């Protein structure tokens, strides 16, 4: 069983020395970095070493590898993630001592008290939309503070303190913790029936988003294209307590309308608002990124930035880590990784790959994330992969915070394919890499998809491809392993 933090806990006035358990996650590391930069004594631990852990050490934050009660040291407060098990010895030590135990979102809520908070929520596109807003606000010399769930390519970090009046955060709805924040401006990208393990029903998810939006003191920005956010807008208006609302999207009634989308290369588009049009282009492909850009522009318009300046501030946005992230080439095969872990996200990622791959093929490596999601959505995943990928190799389930469910493995996804020749179930990673190497040809895209640790298979895939073509070499732009997944 994973830790279920008490989100109703009254936060102490003084947190003292903080110890972060699971500090290597991109969300945790960003929050820990901000506390450290504000002069707090911060320590941490993680299950394995990583580039993120080393970056924290370089800042002067001591990080232990592995979990042991002794790592708590003289901490006054423990900060945890929802991915930890209750048996964790550091968590148990904090309970034994009677130390306050805060979920990472509670620690962030404490840190941003009194800030003008711009919170980005939604089932899909949160990290990218947050990254776009940070990129644009920096380009506009607004210098925001921010915490994102992924490293923003143009900023080179997932968090930083700024001198401006806005603090931008990716607000996680998965466990209800997005309701902790004192939000001034809320952006909701979309609403989906995910995280039923926490909420229990789609109705409960919808109600949580109503509560989140109603709490925004200045402005709510909602997608006009998504059924969930359209219903959210209706609920806000019906209850008569809605703050100012702006909508964005391709729908004819959107306040900020996306038009003329060109997917040939980095995404280009036109945005129209109040009869004024502005053309924009990003440094990343994918139609979904044009929609994310429209949401960011709507926020910028809502805080008084003129349309032309808002769109121009997003020019060349280079993306965030683990979102259609290139890992170079091997023998002419292009390697990518994407954080997609829900059928809607997988569809967007594969459509992006199709817009880039040209006449060649897309080979997907799918790592199912969560036993409950795999059990509920195996058929949806199979349908998306079979429609948009030329071949799919399925790994086993990355359980994250969940206990195994008997009979739930990656085979549930592979067995749901209508044509068995389009898929291979390979729970052994070495066998999976070899199978990909057998299939891949120069010009193809091989892409890993999951918010688990699937990106770690890419070095094995690269080696297997090169072994099959020994005269080939790896391109110089292949990056090191990505950051740890958000925890």
Q: How far apart are CA 426 and CA 414, in angstroms?
A: 10
CB 344 within 8 Å of CB 192: yes
**Residue 399 belongs to a domain with what CATH number?**
3.90.190.20
All residues at 6 or more sequence positions from 70 whose CB lies less than 8 Å from its CB, including other chains: none
Residue 333 belongs to a domain: yes
What phi, psi does 10 have (nearest 5°)? -75, 120
Residue 476 belongs to a domain: no
Looking at 103, 133, 154, the residue that finishes a domain is 103
Confidence of residue 482 (pLDDT cuts 50, 70, 90): very low
Residue 83 sits in the same domain as residue 158: no
**Token digits of residue 256:** 């900020």
At 40-88, the pLDDT tens digits run: 999 999 988 988 899 999 999 999 999 999 999 999 999 998 778 889 9
Residue 455 sits in the same domain as residue 333: yes
- Residue 441: DSSP 8-state: -
User: How many residues would you count in the chain?
Assistant: 487
Closest CA to 118 of 210, 32, 208, 187: 187
The neighbouring-strand residues paired with 78 are 19, 101
pLDDT at 479 over 70: no
Residue 238 sits in the same domain as residue 266: yes
**Residue 52 belongs to a domain with what CATH number?**
3.40.50.720
Residue 385 sits in the same domain as residue 408: yes
Residue 375's CB is within 10 A of a number of other CB atoms, namely 14
Q: How far apart are CA 211 and CA 391, in angstroms?
A: 42
pTM of the model: 0.80
Q: How far apart are CA 275 and CA 256, in angstroms?
A: 10
Confidence of residue 192 (pLDDT cuts 50, 70, 90): confident
pLDDT at 193 over 90: no
Q: How far apart are CA 45 and CA 305, in angstroms?
A: 42
At 357-377, the pLDDT tens digits run: 999 999 999 999 989 989 999
Q: How far apart are CA 285 and CA 468, in angstroms?
A: 30
Residue 173 sits in the same domain as residue 280: yes
Residue 372 belongs to a domain: yes
CB 220 within 8 Å of CB 188: yes
Q: Tokens 């606000």 identify what position? A: 137
Number of structural domains the chain divides into: 3
What is the CA 48 to chain-centroid distance, rounded?
21
At 283-315, the pLDDT tens digits run: 888 898 999 999 999 999 999 999 999 999 999
Torsion 426-427-430-433 (CA) sign: positive
Q: How far apart are CA 436 and CA 365, in angstroms?
A: 8
Show the domain range for 124: 112-312
Q: How far apart are CA 261 and CA 280, in angstroms?
A: 10
At 386-416, the pLDDT tens digits run: 999 999 999 999 988 678 999 999 999 999 9
CB 60 within 8 Å of CB 378: no
Looking at 103, 121, 154, the residue that finishes a domain is 103
Q: What is the mean pLDDT of residues 322-338?
A: 91
Strands 219-223 and 157-160: unpaired
Confidence of residue 235 (pLDDT cuts 50, 70, 90): very high
Long-range contacts of 374-378 (CB under 8 A, 24+ apart): 374/408, 374/409, 374/410, 374/412, 374/413, 375/405, 375/408, 375/412, 376/196, 377/342, 377/343, 378/412, 378/413, 378/415, 378/416
At 115-160, the pLDDT tens digits run: 999 999 998 889 999 999 999 999 999 999 999 988 888 888 889 9
Helix (H, G, I), strand (E, B) or coil at 139: helix
Residue 242 sits in the same domain as residue 120: yes
Helix (H) or strand (E) holding 219: strand 219-223
Residue 163 sits in the same domain as residue 262: yes
Q: What is the mean pLDDT of residues 331-341?
A: 93
Residue 306 sits in the same domain as residue 330: no
Closest CA to 43 of 65, 55, 29, 61: 61
The neighbouring-strand residues paired with 268 are 262, 281
For residues 14, 19, 24, 29, the Cα torsion angle rounded to the nearest 10 degrees is 20
Q: How far apart are CA 112 and CA 105, in angstroms?
A: 10
């Amino acid at each position: 069983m994973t830790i279920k933090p008490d989100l109703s806990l009254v936060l102490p006035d003084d947190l003292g020395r903080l110890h972060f358990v699971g500090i290597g996650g991109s969300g945790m590391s960003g929050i820990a970095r901000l506390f450290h930069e504000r002069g707090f004594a911060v320590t941490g631990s993680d299950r394995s070493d990583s580039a993120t852990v080393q970056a924290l050490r370089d800042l002067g934050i001591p990080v232990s590898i592995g979990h042991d009660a002794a790592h708590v040291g003289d901490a006054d407060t423990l900060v945890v993630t929802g991915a930890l098990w209750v048996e964790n010895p550091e968590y148990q030590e904090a309970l034994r001592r009677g130390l306050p135990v805060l979920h990472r979102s509670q620690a962030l809520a404490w840190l941003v008290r009194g800030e003008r908070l711009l919170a980005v929520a939604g089932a899909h596109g949160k990290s990218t939309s947050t990254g776009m807003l940070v990129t644009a606000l920096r380009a506009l010399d607004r210098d925001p503070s921010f915490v994102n769930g992924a490293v923003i390519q143009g900023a080179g970090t997932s968090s930083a303190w700024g001198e401006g009046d806005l603090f931008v955060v990716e607000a996680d709805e998965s466990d209800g913790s997005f309701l902790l924040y004192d939000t001034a401006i809320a952006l909701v990208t979309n609403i989906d029936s995910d995280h039923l393990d926490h909420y229990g029903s789609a109705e409960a998810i919808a109600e949580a988003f109503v509560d989140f939006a109603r709490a925004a003191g200045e402005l709510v920005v909602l997608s006009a294209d998504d059924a969930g956010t359209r219903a959210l807008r209706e609920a806000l208006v019906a209850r008569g307590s809605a703050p100012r609302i702006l909508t964005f999207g391709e729908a004819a009634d959107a306040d900020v309308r996306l038009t003329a989308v060109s997917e040939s290369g980095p995404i280009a588009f036109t945005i129209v608002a109040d009869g004024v049009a502005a053309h924009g282009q990003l440094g990343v492909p994918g139609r979904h990124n044009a929609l994310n850009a429209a949401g960011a522009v709507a926020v910028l318009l809502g805080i008084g930035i003129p349309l032309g300046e808002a769109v121009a501030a997003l020019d060349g946005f280079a993306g965030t880590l683990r979102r259609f992230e290139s890992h170079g080439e091997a023998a002419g095969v292009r390697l990518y990784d994407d954080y997609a872990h829900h059928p809607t996200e997988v569809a967007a990622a594969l459509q992006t790959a199709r817009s880039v791959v040209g006449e060649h093929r897309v080979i997907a490596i799918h790592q199912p994330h969560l036993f409950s999601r795999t059990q509920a959505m195996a058929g949806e995943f199979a349908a998306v992969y079979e429609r948009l990928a030329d071949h799919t190799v399925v790994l086993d389930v990355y359980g994250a915070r969940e206990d195994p469910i008997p009979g739930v493995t990656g085979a549930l996804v592979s067995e749901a394919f209508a044509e068995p020749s389009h898929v291979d179930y390979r729970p052994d990673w070495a066998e999976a890499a070899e199978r990909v190497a057998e299939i891949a040809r120069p010009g193809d895209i091989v892409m890993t998809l999951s918010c688990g640790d699937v990106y770690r298979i890419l070095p094995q895939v690269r080696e297997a491809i090169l072994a099959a073509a020994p005269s080939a070499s790896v391109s110089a732009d292949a990056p090191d392993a990505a950051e740890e997944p958000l925890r």
